[in-house]
């Protein structure tokens, strides 16, 4: 029976916890007396508690995040009720701020705030030695990479075969965007290039082909970004897939040359646009050259085979519906394969709260603390845009309707066109999820042909092309006359459904 169990509830099983693997790798002499147990937020907390207690640990280290906060609270309550002597140590961003305000922190024996890679090990040493004169809250000192053991051997062969493998070449962020925890005073630290690339080589040799970099600003250091891309390009294989977060207005020529040299489908860039309104950006301390951003995104789409995933936030202080709509239209015109529309969240510890009074910010009291309304966006508008975001995920980002999408948005304003469809869809179905592809096809047909008045042959050819590209065989009856036209259709803007599934963690490359 291990003395220490490291556990968390992941959003999905395929998302292997990178933080837990760092903690276990750095337990030093205690590593052999530890076990890593991962669960999903869909599991019942009582069932999770049963599995943890079956391992009979003396110490439980539990990772708490915004996506698992509610389930983690219920889990800790159960554990303390049935096994009060179990020492529970919490860590993670959710409990690293506003600690004294959270019931889960009051229930736990200890809370380690900040990057706990080394602080958790030191705490476990003292606890297992019988030391009970320890503080309830421990503020971890920022570790440097040269003091940390590598976490990559903690990925099992099952992880390598079936799960997303996360890696990092840097920590921290130099920017001060107020909605993000990186706005706090956390310096950027980089791993030494030679040992890091040696670890990547070992992962490649073990069969890893999908690398998801968690660096907040991968292209902050151009020399290191170029070296990493060059390393992988020299070892390129047809199933290699690399995911990076990019600073959108920083793409100098040496980096462009490396990106352009990759074959199509090998790179995915998550680009945090967030807002294209300069006044809103200044209000939340976001430093961004929107003109250069636009130039870079257009270059990525026209000169590379990279898949571009761009983020926009609804509900930023002072940004109204019309301002957001202009930003959406401008971003759509730049051509990213995905636009992720997300509601602003009041993450614990972020300075976005300074806008609460002047901009009428109202947030949900429970995780993930999404904005409910602002002075510029009343509750009804926020609800409308929340539905817009869900339907956009279903239609715009799914990869299923890339030939139909230009017809759906083919008006002066892409935002206005989709907002009308979104309103009609909600009025007719009352659902924002769980709409089967077959049913959605009929709804799209009804909207485009019956309400918009588009020619059935045009809509049918586009829709049949999407069905054929996604290798679907359950053709709706109304599409059968257009099957051959659809099969002859060429490639479309948004890329295949497999790429979308891989990005969302629903399938492995």
Q: Can you give the CATH number for the domain in which 181 is found?
A: 3.80.30.20
pLDDT bucket at 506, cuts 50 / 70 / 90: very low
Start-end of H helices in 337-455: 379-395, 405-408, 414-429, 437-445
355 in a structural domain: no
Q: From CA 309, how far away is CA 328, in angstroms rounded?
A: 13
Q: Are residues 334 and 191 in the same domain?
A: yes
**Structural domain span for residue 460:** 378-509
Residue 453 has pLDDT above 90, yes or no: yes
Q: Are residues 61 and 199 in the same domain?
A: no
Q: Which of 145, 165, 184 is a domain's end point?
A: 145
Q: Are residues 215 and 342 in the same domain?
A: yes
Residue 485 has pLDDT above 60, yes or no: no
The encoded tokens of residue 386 equal 């929340």
Residue 292 has pLDDT above 50, yes or no: yes
Cα 164 to chain centroid, rounded: 12
Residue 349 backbone zone (phi > 0: left; psi -120 to 50: alpha; other: beta): left
Q: What is the mean pLDDT of the chain?
A: 92
Closest of 331, 335, 273 to residue 307, by C-alpha:
335
Residue 486 has pLDDT above 60, yes or no: no
466 in a structural domain: yes
Q: Are residues 200 and 331 in the same domain?
A: yes
Q: From CA 221, how far away is CA 47, in angstroms rounded?
A: 45
Average pLDDT for residues 456-483, to the nearest whole number? Answer: 87
Residue 114 has pLDDT above 80, yes or no: yes
Q: Are residues 385 and 253 in the same domain?
A: no
Cα 351 to chain centroid, rounded: 21
Residue 113, strand partner residues: 139
Residue 184 has pLDDT above 90, yes or no: no
Q: From CA 445, how far away is CA 459, in angstroms rounded?
A: 7
Average pLDDT for residues 55-75, to the nearest whole number? Answer: 97
How confident is the model over 12-58, as pLDDT tens digits?
Answer: 999 999 999 999 999 999 999 999 999 999 999 999 999 999 999 99
Q: Which of 110, 145, 180 is a domain's end point?
A: 145
Cβ pair 40, 13 in contact under 8 A: yes
362 in a structural domain: no
What percent of the chain shows pLDDT beyond 90?
81
pTM value?
Answer: 0.90
Q: From CA 480, how far away is CA 496, in angstroms rounded?
A: 22
Closest of 253, 343, 348, 341 to residue 303, by C-alpha:
253
Q: Are residues 188 and 251 in the same domain?
A: yes
Q: Which of 145, 177, 193 is a domain's end point?
A: 145
DSSP 374-399: -SSS-HHHHHHHHHHHHHHHHHTSSS
How confident is the model over 340-392, as pLDDT tens digits?
Answer: 999 999 999 999 999 999 999 999 999 999 999 999 999 999 999 999 999 99
Peptide bond into 368 cis (omega under 30): yes
Domain count, the chain: 3
Average pLDDT for residues 478-499, to the nearest whole number? Answer: 57
CATH code (residue 16): 3.40.50.280
405 in a structural domain: yes
The encoded tokens of residue 167 equal 């890696």
User: If you ran DSSP here, which 8-state letter would residue 238 be given?
Assistant: T
The predicted pLDDT at position 508 comes to 27
Residue 310 DSSP SS3: strand
278 in a structural domain: yes
Q: Are residues 200 and 321 in the same domain?
A: yes
Residue 172 has pLDDT above 50, yes or no: yes
Residue 496 has pLDDT above 70, yes or no: no
Phi first, then psi: what are they for 217, rounded to 5°? Answer: -140, 70
Instruction: Give the count of beta carbons closer than 10 Å to the beta carbon of residue 471.
Output: 9
Residue 490 has pLDDT above 70, yes or no: no
372 in a structural domain: no
509 in a structural domain: yes
The predicted pLDDT at position 217 comes to 86
Residue 157 has pLDDT above 90, yes or no: yes
Q: Are residues 75 and 37 in the same domain?
A: yes
Q: From CA 347, how far away is CA 119, in angstroms rounded?
A: 23
The predicted pLDDT at position 504 comes to 39
The predicted pLDDT at position 187 comes to 79
354 in a structural domain: no
Secondary structure element (H or E) that encloses residue 6, with its range: strand 4-10
Q: Are residues 175 and 47 in the same domain?
A: no
Q: Are residues 70 and 174 in the same domain?
A: no
Average pLDDT for residues 233-256, to the nearest whole number? Answer: 93
Closest of 321, 373, 309 to residue 346, by C-alpha:
373
Q: Are residues 307 and 429 in the same domain?
A: no
55-80 CB burial, b ≥16 within 10 A, e <16: eebbbbbbbbbbbbbbbbbebbebbb
Of 107 and 349, the structure prediction assigns the larger pLDDT to 107
The encoded tokens of residue 36 equal 């890593």
Cβ pair 339, 396 in contact under 8 A: yes
Q: 322 Cβ partners below 8 Å, 6+ apart?
A: none
Residue at token pair 């003091």: 147
Q: Are residues 130 and 184 in the same domain?
A: no
The encoded tokens of residue 45 equal 């907390």
Of 436 and 383, the structure prediction assigns the larger pLDDT to 383
User: If you ran DSSP here, which 8-state letter would residue 450 be given?
Assistant: I
Burial of 434 (0-12, 13-18, 19+ CB in 10 A): exposed
The winner for highest mean pLDDT among 105-109, 168-172, 395-399 is 105-109
């Amino acid at each position: 029976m291990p003395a220490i169990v490291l556990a968390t509830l992941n959003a999905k099983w395929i998302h292997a916890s990178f933080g837990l693997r760092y903690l276990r790798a750095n337990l030093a002499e205690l590593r052999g007396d530890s076990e890593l147990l991962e669960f999903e937020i869909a599991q019942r907390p009582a069932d999770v508690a049963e599995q943890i207690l079956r391992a009979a640990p003396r110490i439980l280290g539990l990772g708490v995040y915004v996506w698992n906060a509610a389930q983690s609270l219920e889990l800790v309550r159960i554990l303390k009720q049935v096994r009060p002597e179990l020492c529970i140590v919490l860590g993670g961003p959710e409990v690293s701020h506003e600690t004294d305000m959270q019931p889960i922190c009051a229930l736990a024996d200890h809370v380690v705030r900040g990057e706990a890679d080394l602080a958790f090990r030191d705490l476990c040493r003292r606890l297992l030695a019988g030391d009970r004169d320890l503080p309830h809250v421990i503020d971890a000192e920022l570790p440097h990479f040269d003091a940390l053991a590598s976490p990559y051997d903690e990925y099992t062969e099952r992880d390598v075969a079936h799960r997303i493998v996360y890696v990092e070449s840097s920590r921290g962020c130099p920017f001060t965007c107020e909605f993000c925890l990186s706005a706090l005073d956390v310096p950027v630290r980089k791993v030494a290039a030679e040992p890091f690339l040696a670890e990547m080589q070992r992962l490649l040799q073990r069969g890893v082909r999908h690398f998801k970099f968690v660096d907040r600003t991968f292209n902050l250091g151009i020399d290191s970004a170029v070296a990493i891309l060059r390393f992988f390009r020299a070892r390129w294989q047809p199933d290699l897939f690399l995911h990076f977060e990019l600073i959108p207005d920083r793409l100098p020529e040496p980096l462009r040359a490396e990106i352009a040299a990759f074959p199509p489908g090998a790179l995915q860039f998550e680009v945090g646009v967030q807002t294209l309104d300069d006044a809103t950006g200044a209000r939340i301390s976001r430093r961004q050259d929107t003109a250069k951003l636009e130039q870079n995104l257009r270059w990525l789409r026209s000169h590379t085979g990279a898949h571009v995933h761009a983020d926009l936030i609804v509900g930023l202080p002072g940004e109204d519906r019309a301002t957001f709509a202009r930003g959406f239209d401008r971003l759509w015109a730049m051509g990213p394969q995905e636009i992720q529309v997300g509601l602003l969240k009041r993450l614990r510890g972020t300075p976005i709260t300074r806008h609460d009074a002047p901009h009428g910010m109202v947030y949900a009291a429970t995780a993930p603390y999404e904005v409910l309304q602002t002075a510029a966006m009343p509750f009804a508008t926020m609800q409308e845009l929340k539905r817009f975001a869900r339907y956009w995920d279903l239609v715009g980002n799914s990869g299923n309707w890339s030939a139909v999408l230009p017809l759906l948005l083919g008006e002066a304003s892409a935002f206005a066109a989709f907002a009308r469809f979104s309103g009609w869809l909600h009025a007719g179905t009352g659902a924002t999820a769980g709409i089967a592809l077959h049913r959605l096809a009929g709804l799209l047909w009804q909207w485009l042909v019956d309400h918009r008045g588009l020619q059935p042959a045009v809509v049918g050819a586009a829709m049949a092309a999407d069905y054929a590209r996604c290798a679907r065989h359950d053709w709706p009856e109304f599409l059968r006359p257009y099957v051959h036209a659809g099969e002859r259709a060429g490639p479309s803007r948004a890329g295949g459904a497999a790429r979308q599934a891989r990005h969302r963690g629903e399938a492995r490359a």
